Amino acid sequence: MKKLAIVQIILGALVVGSLIYWIGWISSGYHTREGIIPDGYIVRELPLLAPNPALDVWSILYPALGLAVLGCGIAQYFGTGGKRLAVAQIVLGVLVISSLVWFIGWVEWDYGPCIRVMEPWGEIEMKHLPGWEMRLIIWKIACFILGLSVVGTGIVQKVKVGRHEAGN
C-alpha cells in the first residue's frame, strides 16, 4: 500500500501544481488579444476584465483539494489509512472533477474572438495569442484526468483495504 500512497501524494502535488501552471501560463491569456491591421502590423490589446469573485473562490478551493489529496496520501503512507480514508480519497477526486466542471461552466471568462473597431482601419478581429487556446484545452484535459486518477486510486485503496480486512 506504500506504492499507492506515493501515487496519491504525487497526484495531490500535481493538482496543486496544475493551479500554479494555470496562474503562470494560462490565466494571463484571457487578458491578451491580438489582431492584424490592413497594413500588416500586429496590434495587441489587454482588455480590462471585470472582477470575478467566483474565480477567487475557485483559486482557493482547487489547491485546498490538492492539499487534501496530498494529506490523504501522507496519512496512508504512515499507515493511518482505512476504508474512511479511501472513501475520502474518492470524494476528493469527485470534488476535483466537480471544481473543474464549475470552473469551465461558470467561473472562467469568455475567451472567444471579438471584433474591435479601430480607426481608421475599421473592424479588426482580435484573437488570443497563438497556442494559448491549445494550452488551455490541454490543461483542462490534464486536470480532468488528474481528478479521475484520484478517484481511481481511492477505489483501488478501498478494494485493497477491504481485502486486507477480510484476510484478518
Q: Cα dist. 150→34, 58, 82, 85, 162 in Å? A: 38, 19, 16, 12, 18
More confident residue, 111 or 64: 64
Q: Distance between CA atoms of 115 and 64, rounded to whole angstroms?
A: 38
pTM score, whole prediction: 0.87
Q: pLDDT band for position 30 (50/70/90)? A: confident
Residue 21: which region, alpha, beta or left (left: phi > 0; alpha: psi -120 to 50)? alpha
Q: Distance between CA atoms of 94 and 107, rounded to whole angstroms?
A: 18
Structure confidence by residue, pLDDT tens digits, 93-116: 999 999 999 999 999 987 776 777
